[in-house]
């Protein structure tokens, strides 16, 4: 077995398949999926190109914009900087995994209600980061919302509406509630 180290951790269970490829199993939104990838493939590219989960966006591909924010074991990570192979034996949640039983997550509903997007490109990363922000238990006042959401850029400058959506969910669910990530 080969061991690879990346941004999230170590995967000791990779099985070599053909020249340069390994078979890995990723648990994405509660569903295990086995795919062949090269060890250097980012989680972002594995999600979009191998698993057809295109909700997570490729923005800068350098970790500067936050459009690719997903959760690995309920912690936000930049999928463009995380090797997919390091995510074996971890739970990956994407924007597609937030809605439950056909019902939008409260943050998704608040983004719609508060018009917290314009072009929508950054919205999946913004929502994933906003839900994690509340779950992490930071004091959710405007200054902390600005600070802890600063890794997610919006070129349309919908920031006042994004903060309003976060405040709405904060008020509905309570500060740092454990069900913020459902």
Nearest residue to 159 via CA among 108, 134, 122, 131: 122
The domain ranges of the chain are: 2-97, 106-181
DSSP code of residue 3:
E
Q: Taking the model in full, what pTM does it have?
A: 0.86
| H-helix segments, the chain | 43-45, 106-113, 123-135, 142-148, 159-173
Mapped onto helix, strand or coil, the DSSP state of residue 17 is strand
| Residue 175: per-residue pLDDT | 61
Cβ-contact 87, 99 below 8 angstroms: no
Protein fold of 2-97: Ubiquitin-like (UB roll) (3.10.20)
DSSP code of residue 42:
B
- Assigned superfamily of 106-181: [2Fe-2S]-binding domain (1.10.150.120)
| Residue 62: per-residue pLDDT | 96
| Residue 16: per-residue pLDDT | 52
| Residue 12: per-residue pLDDT | 52
SS percent in the chain: helix, strand, coil, step 5: 35, 25, 40
Residues of the chain with pLDDT below 50 are 1-11, 177-182
Backbone angles phi, psi at 15, to 5 degrees: -110, 125
Mapped onto helix, strand or coil, the DSSP state of residue 87 is helix
Long-range contacts: 95-103, Cβ < 8 Å, 24+?
A: 95/55, 95/56, 95/70, 95/124, 95/127, 95/128, 96/29, 96/53, 96/55, 97/28, 97/29, 97/30, 98/127, 98/128, 98/131, 98/182, 100/182
């Amino acid at each position: 077995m080969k061991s690879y180290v990346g941004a999230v951790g170590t995967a000791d269970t990779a099985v070599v398949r053909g020249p340069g490829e390994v078979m890995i199993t990723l648990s994405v939104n509660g569903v295990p999926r086995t795919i062949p990838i090269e060890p250097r493939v980012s989680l972002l590219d594995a999600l979009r190109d191998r698993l057809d989960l295109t909700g997570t966006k490729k923005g800068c591909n350098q970790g500067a914009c936050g459009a690719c924010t997903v959760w690995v074991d309920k912690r936000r990570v930049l999928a463009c900087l995380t090797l997919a192979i390091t995510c074996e034996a971890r739970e990956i949640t994407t924007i597609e995994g937030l809605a439950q039983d056909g019902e939008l997550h409260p943050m998704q509903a608040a983004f719609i209600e508060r018009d917290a997007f314009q072009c929508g490109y950054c919205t999946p990363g913004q929502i994933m980061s906003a839900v994690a922000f509340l779950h992490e238990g930071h004091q959710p006042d405007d200054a902390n919302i600005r600070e802890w959401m600063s890794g997610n850029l919006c070129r349309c400058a919908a920031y006042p509406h994004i903060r309003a959506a976060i405040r709405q969910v904060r008020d509905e669910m309570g500060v740092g509630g454990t069900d913020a990530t459902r």
